[in-house]
Amino acid sequence: MTETMRIGTRASALATTQSQLVADQITELTGRKTELVAIATHGDTVAGSLASLGGTGVFVSALRDALLAGRIDVAVHSLKDIPTTPVVGIHLVATPLREDPRDALVARDGLTLGELPPGARVGTGSPRRIAQLRALGLGLELIDIRGNVDTRLGKVATGELDAVILARAGLNRLGRTEPITEVIDPLQVLPAPGQGALAVECRSNSEFVDLLSPLNHPHTRACVEAERVILAELEAGCAAPVGALAEVVEGDHALELWIRAIALSPDGVLSVRRSASGPLDDPIGVGQKLAAEMLAEGATELITHQMQESNTQHG
């Protein structure tokens, strides 16, 4: 038995809560003591919208650098933050059981999305959410916000905003589901690929590759692999207006994977929405099949348009 396992995490309350959940699972699985090591990432230390920061990898790179340098033994991420391009020397060893992947609305006076009046001020830092909310045509004023969960919830409590939209998974892990006024149906707003799932990474040559593999939840892994293939095939970053959600469902003869995805223009006027199903043991193939249909319908052009707009606004 070696010394205490050092687990790298972002410093926010949500990140440390999530990482502690994994740490507890590691201790239960291996009997090893763990220590959380807080690491400041680019996305935590630089102001500006997610799109202006470049989106891809801004919450991940510093943790991976610490992992490769040997300052930590394991890194825990929100899986939706991880770029789809693999990094040499780093292995995604496990995706534990996923939390609820849906988005959640926290609004004044207990209002739901459909009950918010036109012109209501709704905060979110996600281009994906903004585009899909615009596509619903509710006449909302969408405000780009960043900050931790308490900061965002506080903007509703003080009346600065009428509502905010957050990932339900984070609120649940923090024990903060009470303020939720509506869990948003994916038919209205599809979540980010990988939302609600955690990623446990270690060095590829580490003893922990085999040791921690039992933390992996096979159905979660299949779903998020299919969703992330959509991002990879569309060459879209974490901040692109792309939503995807895969689920394990009963097929005619066996369990199957069913996936829905959407790519939008930033204003929500144009979109490509598709679904597909296929074998549970071939999540990459199922995702690629769906991505090919979306590419044929012009999804990449929508995303490229988004990137060009972002560069124009923030360049």
Element (H, E) at 187: none
Only one residue has tokens 């900061």, namely 151
- From first CA to last CA, the distance across the chain in angstroms is 51
DSSP annotation of 310 reads H
Q: Is 81 a catalytic residue?
A: yes
Largest Cα–Cα separation, the chain: 61
User: How much helix, strand and coil, in percent to the nearest 5, is found in the chain?
Assistant: 35, 25, 40
279 by DSSP, 3-state: which?
Answer: strand
Task: Return the ∠ at Cα 159 (arms to 153 and 162), rounded to 5°.
Answer: 75
Residues in the chain: 315
Pairing of strands 198-203, 74-78: antiparallel
Task: Determine which one of 81, 100, 144, 282 is catalytic.
Answer: 81
- Alpha carbon 119 to chain centroid, angstroms: 28
Residues 6+ apart with CB under 8 A from 211: 29, 30
Catalytic residue positions, numbered: 81
